[in-house]
Structure 1
Amino acid sequence: MTETLTMSSLYDKLSKLGLNQDYVRNNGLPSWWNDELNNKSYGVLEGAGYIADNLNLDLKSLLVAEEEIKFNSPPHTKFKQHNSQNKDHPYVAQALVSRVVDLIAYGTEVNFKPLPVNVNEIRTEILKNHTTINLISLLEYCWSKGIAVAHFSHFPENTKKFAGLIQWQFSRPIIILTSKQKYSARLAFDLAHELGHLALGHLKEGILIDEKIESDSNDNEEDEANKFATQLLLGDCDNCLGDKQFHNNDHLLKHARNKAIENPSVEVDSIVLNNAWHNNNWGFAQKALDKIGFTVDAQQTINEYLADRLDWDKFNDENYQYLEKVLGV
C-alpha cells in the first residue's frame, strides 16, 4: 500500500467528496508541508493522517485504494427544514463542522446548566446584566450556561451548507452558526433560534442541523424555535411596525428608533429585521442597517468570545493552527 501511495492519488479520492486539492492543501495539511513529499510514501502516509484528523475522515478509507472514501460516522443527526423530495443533506459541511465541535469541546471546560423552558425567564435573566437583548448579551448568557458558541463558514466551494448546528459533546451542547450574514441582529436571531431548540427539548443528544432558518416553515419545531427567538429578542415588540409602508430607509429607521425608545430592551436593528421578516422588506432593511452602521463583524465577535475561553495550551501545534485558520482568530 505505502509503496504506491502518492498525494495525487489522495487528492483524486478526496475530490469525490467535493474536497478539492486547494482546500485539502490549505486546510488538511500542516503549514510545514512541503510538496516535495507528494511522491514519497512515508511522507504521504503522515500527510494522510493530518488530512483525516483535520477533515474528519475515516483514515482507512482514505488510504486503501479499494475502499470508498468516507467521513467518520456522526452521532444520530436530526435535519430540520429539509425538503423531503431532496435527499441531498449537507453531509460534507456537517462532517467538517463536527470536527471543529470535537476540538472546541476538548479545549473548553464548562458545565452545562439546563435552560428554562419559559423564554421570558431567560429574557429576564439576561436583562439583569444587560440593557438589551443582542448578540453580545446572548453570547454571554450561552457561555454562562455552559453552551459554547462558534461561527464556521470555512467550507469548500459548491458545498451544500446549513444555517446552524447543535451537537451534544461530553454531555453538553455546542452551537455552531454558519451564516455569512454581516448583521449582528441576524446572527443573534439564529443563535436565539438554536437556544429555542435546546430550551424546548427538541434535541437531548446527537446532532440537530437547521438547513435553513426561515419564517415559512411547515415544521412545528421550527415554528416553535422561531417564536422562541422572536420573543427572546423582541419581547412585546414582535411586528410592532405592523404592515406600515415606508417611503425610504430614513422613514423605516425613524419608526424603528421610536419603537426602540418605547421598548428599551429591544435593539433598533432587531426591529428593522423583524419588520423585514414579517413583510419581506429585506432590501429596505439591509440598506437601513448599512446606513446606521449595524455592520460589525458579527462572525468575528462570536469567535473572539470562543477564543478567549479556549485553553489553547491543550492543542498540539497542528490542531492549534487549524482552529486559528478556520475560526479566523
Structure 2
Amino acid sequence: MTKTEVRPETIDLKALFSRMNALGFPKDFVSSTLLPSWWCEEFEQTKGAVVEAAAYISRRTSLDFRTLLSTDELVTLPETGRHKYKLTEGTQQNELKPAQAIADRVAEVVSYACIQPVKNIEGLTAQDIRAEILKNYPCVTLESLIDFCWKNGVPVVHLNHFPKRPRIKKSEEPCEPQPKQKKFDGMVGYFRANLEQTVNRPVIAIGKNEKSHAWLSFILAHEIGHIVCGHVREESIIDEKITPEPSEDPQEVEADEFAIALLFGRKNASYYSLKNLNALA
C-alpha cells in the first residue's frame, strides 16, 4: 500500500492580496512594485497565478513562500538581522517595518551584485575622507560622496516608493497590526556580499524623497558617519528623520558632527535651519 502525500491547502489570489494588505502592502503597491510589469488581470484568472504571485512577493520582500500560500499559518514580516531604530517621538517600530522589509531586500541584492571590492573605511576621520574627495573635486558634494562610497565598495541606493497606509477590513485575517505607514530618511548596515557569507559590505539606503542635493548630501554623510564610527558592526541603523538639530542619542550626535565636518571642514560649523529662522521671526 503506497502512501499519498497530503499537501497543505493553499489560499487563492484574493486572500493573498488580503494578507499583504494586512501586513502593510496594499494591492496597488503589490501590483505595481512587487509583481512583474507584465502582470495583468487576465493572468490573474489562470490556475497558477497565486503561486506565481507568491514567488515574486517572496523574492522581493523575503516573506516565506510556503507561509504566504498556507491557509493555516500566520504571515509576519521577516526579521532579516538586527536593527537599531532611531525614531522620532510618537513613532513605533512597526510603522517602519514595511519600508524596512523593502529596503533590506534591495540592500541584500545590491550588496551581492556589487562588483567593487570592499574596503574598510571604519576608523577614518571626516578630514581623511574630505581630503581624499578634494583631490578630485573642488568641494564635497553629493556626487563626490557617492563616488567616494563606490570606490570603497559601499553601494548607495535611493528608495522613494514605499507602501502607503493600507485599508484593513474586519473580514481580513489577523496579522501584525499596522496602524500607520512611515518611511525612513536613511538606513545603513552590513549585508552579505558573496554566497559563502564570508564577506559583508556596508550598504546605504536613502529613503527621503528630496530633490535638494544639500539635504541628500547631509543624509549620506550622516550614514557614512555611522559606518566609520563603528555604529553598525552588529546591527543596521534605521534613521526615521535625519536633521542637524540637536539630538539626545550619542550615536546620532556623533554622526551629525561627522557629517558637518565632512561637508564643511569642521564639526562645529554654523548653519541656519528653517526652524532657527522661524524662531527668530
- TM-score higher than 0.5: yes
Distance between the aligned counterparts of 1:2 and 1:26, measured in 2?
A: 29
Q: What residue number does 1:217 align with?
A: 247
Answer yes or no: is 1:51 the counterpart of 2:57. yes
Q: Secondary structure at the match of 2:23?
A: coil
Residues of 1 paired with 2:51 and 2:20: CA distance?
15
Query: Match for residue 198 of structure 1?
Result: 227
Q: Percent identity?
A: 35
Distance apart, 1:120 and its partner CA: 1.1
- Tell me whether 1:161 sits opposite 2:183 in the alignment: yes
Structure 2 distance, partners of 1:79, 1:56, is: 20
Q: CA RMSD in A?
A: 2.4
- Residue 177 of structure 1 deviates from its aligned partner by 0.4
SS at match of 2:190: strand
- With the length of structure 1 as denominator, give the TM-score of the two structures: 0.70
Structure 2, unmatched stretches of 5+, are: 1-6, 166-180, 194-199
Cα drift, residue 30 of structure 1? 1.5
Shift of 1:66: 1.8
8 Å CA contact 1:37–1:44 kept in 2: the answer is no
Residue 129 in structure 1 maps to residue 136 in structure 2: yes
- 1:64 and 1:5 map into 2 onto residues whose CA distance is 6
Gaps (5+ residues) in structure 1?
Answer: 241-273, 285-329
Question: What's the CA shift for 1:123?
Answer: 1.0
Aligned counterparts of 1:20 and 1:89: Cα–Cα separation in 2: 14
CA distance 1:98–1:206, change in 2 (3 Å): same
Note the C-alpha offset of 1:160: 1.3
Match of 2:149 among 142, 154, 158: 142
For residue 131 of structure 1, report the CA deviation from its aligned partner. 0.7
1:61 pairs with one of 67, 73, 79: 67
Aligned to 1:275, the other structure's residue is in SS state: coil
Give the letter aligned to residue 51 of structure 2. L
* Aligned equivalents of 2:275, 2:21: Cα separation in 1: 42
Distance in 1 between residues matched to 2:226 and 2:10, nearest whole Å:
49
- The corresponding residue for 1:243 is none
Q: Specify whether residues 278 and 16 from structure 1 end up closer, same or farther in structure 2 by C-alpha distance, changes over 3 A only.
A: closer
Give the structure 2 partner of residue 279 of structure 1. 276
Deviation, structure 1 residue 2: 8.0
Alignment equivalent of 2:127, drawn from 120, 123, 129: 120
Q: Which amino acid aligns with 1:127?
A: L
202-211 or 190-199: which moved more? Answer: 202-211
Distance 1:204 1:23 in 2: 33
Secondary structure in 2 matching 1:69:
coil
Could you tell me how far apart the structure 2 residues matched to 1:228 and 1:3 are? Answer: 54
The CA deviation string for residues 153-193 of structure 1, in whole angstroms up to 9 with x for no partner, is 11012321111111211211000001112100100000000
**Which is further off, 88-97 or 217-226?**
88-97
Q: What number of residue pairs does the alignment pair up? A: 250
Cα distance change on mapping 1:97 and 1:86 into 2, 3 Å: closer
For residue 249 of structure 2, what is the amino acid of its counterpart?
D
Tell me the CA shift for residue 104 of structure 1.
0.9
Matched, 1:208 2:215: no
Task: From 254, 261, 265, give the equivalent of 1:231.
Answer: 261
| Cα distance, 1:74–1:58 mapped onto 2, change above 3 Å | same
Q: Which residues in structure 2 correspond to 1:253-272 (within 5 Å)?
A: none
